[in-house]
Amino acid sequence: MRYLVYVEWGSTKGNHAGMAYLAKRIKQEFPYKVKIIKIPVFHFHGGKYVANTVSVLKLIKLLVVLKDSDHIFLMEYLPSLHNWAYWIKKIHRNCKVTALVHFVNEVLDSFYPNSDKLNKHESYVDKQLVLGHSLKEYLVGRGVNESKIKVTFHYVDVDYYFKKDHNNTKLQVIFLGSLKRDFDLLRNIIQSCPNTDFHILMGKKNLRQKFSDLSNVVLHPYLSEDELRNLMQHADVSLNVMKDTIGSNVIVTSMACGLAMVVSDVGSIRDYCDDGHAFFCRTITDYTYAIEQLSKDKQLLERMKHRSYEKAQDFSLNKFLMEFNGDLLK
């Protein structure tokens, strides 16, 4: 039996991205091979302690029924769920444990300033999956055995996120996400492109004070996934001003919706994007040039949008499911 253990974050639990949806789709694909274990997250006062208690009880229940021939997939690891890996290996030494890490380097540094602790937690798992080569290089640099690390990539459900044809008279640029984003640089880029319309998806982050004075910006509050997809499908460009990335929902869903990509040249971004559909940027001049080119050259814009949609198919959920069944857990 394969057990999928995931943390149910409120921001992604009901949509077509994230670990909750992935676990459910794997279960649908392999109903007799897979069981799901959900670790809840509670946001009320004292909710952390309740969630920890629930997690311990679910771990104990698993340890009672677990067999050495079973395989555990911890879908969120470092710093989460290392206690699960420890107790599984302590009681069922021959049981295989595969874990997925999807935090960027700086975040892992904050949790693991000491490499000894990082490597101790890594020693509990048999295989470590990462969502980009930059994270593999980081872990190897911290002393993790390279042979146990496998690079995979963030999936996208291309049946839900897909391209719609439209014809905007003015370039429409969309900005999504909040983790490791450079909002100061974003403001400077917007000010340098006064003839372009920018749509900033704030989510649960209040960015009104930083951007509300700019006349070419529309600030969108938290949207449902359907509303978000509709906005993406009517945009032209996905602008990603990032301090680091190992691949994300924003990148692959933007590509699946057929958006030309203007991205920071950081982290594992080149695992997902190429010159056929993306401008790689390091300075404000790079970003401004990319947006100006896409604004004035409609043929270039349409070519890059089409290539982006095509490239997204490489990261389709169906391909991930095939990889999961064939190689990821071997």
From 94, 120, 152, give the residue that closes a domain: 152
- Complete edge-to-edge strand list for the sheet that includes strand 278-281: 217-221, 197-203, 172-175, 237-240, 260-264, 278-281
Q: What is the CATH number of the domain that holds 281?
A: 3.40.50.2000
In a domain, 322, yes or no: no
212 and 275 share a domain?
Answer: yes
Shared domain check, 123 and 205: no
Give 5's contacts (C-beta < 8 A, 6+ positions apart): 37, 39, 72, 73, 74, 75, 81, 84
Q: Encode the chain in three state secondary structure.
A: CEEEEEEECCCCCCCCCHHHHHHHHHHHHCCCCEEEEEEECCCCCCHHHHHHHHHHHHHHHHHHHCCCCCEEEECCCCCCCHHHHHHHHHHCCCCEEEEEECCCHHHHHHHCCCHHHHHHHHCCCCEEEECCHHHHHHHHHCCCCHHHEEECCCCECCCCCCCCCCCCCCCEEEECCCCCECHHHHHHHHHHCCCCEEEEEEECCCCHHHHCCCCCEEEEECCCHHHHHHHHHCCCEEEECECCCCCCHHHHHHHHCCCEEEEECCCCHHHHCCCCCEEEECCHHHHHHHHHHHHHCHHHHHHHHHHHHHHHHHHEHHHHHHHHHHHHCC
Whether the CB-CB separation of 17 and 157 falls below 8 Å is answered with yes
Residue 105 and residue 225 in one domain? no
52 and 131 belong to one structural domain: yes
Domain coverage including residue 237: 172-315
Tell me which residue of 319, 304, 204 sits closest to 254, measured CA to CA: 304
- Residue 268 in any domain: the answer is yes
pLDDT of residue 330: 60
Q: Is 73 a member of any domain?
A: yes
Residue 50 covered by a domain: yes
Which residue, 121, 152, 183, sits at the end of a domain? 152
In a shared domain, residues 9 and 146:
yes
Residue 307: inside a domain: yes
68: left (phi over 0), alpha (psi -120 to 50) or beta: alpha
Please indicate, yes or no, whether residues 67 and 195 belong to a single structural domain of this protein: no
Q: What is the pLDDT of residue 327?
A: 65
Give the pLDDT confidence score for residue 324 in this predicted structure.
83
**Residue that finishes a domain, picked among 152, 183, 217:** 152
Low-confidence ranges of the chain (pLDDT < 50): none
226 and 125 inside one domain:
no
Please indicate, yes or no, whether residues 133 and 16 belong to a single structural domain of this protein: yes
Tell me the CA distances in angstroms from 283 to 46, 104, 141, 287, one per residue in order. 44, 21, 27, 7
Is residue 326 in some structural domain? no
Specify the pLDDT at position 18. Answer: 86
- Within-domain flag for 271: yes
Considering the domain architecture, whether residues 115 and 184 belong to the same structural domain is answered as no
Model pLDDT, residue 44: 72
Q: How many domains does the chain have?
A: 2
Q: Is residue 158 part of a domain?
A: no
Do residue 188 and residue 287 come from a single domain? yes
Encoded tokens for 158: 């291309």
Q: Quick one: tokens of 193? A: 């492109």
- 265 shares its domain with 295: yes
**Paired strand residues for 99:** 74, 128
Q: Alpha-carbon distance 116 to 118, whole Å?
A: 5
pLDDT at 89: 95
**Do 84 and 182 reside in the same domain of the chain?**
no
Residue carrying the six token digits 């042979």: 147
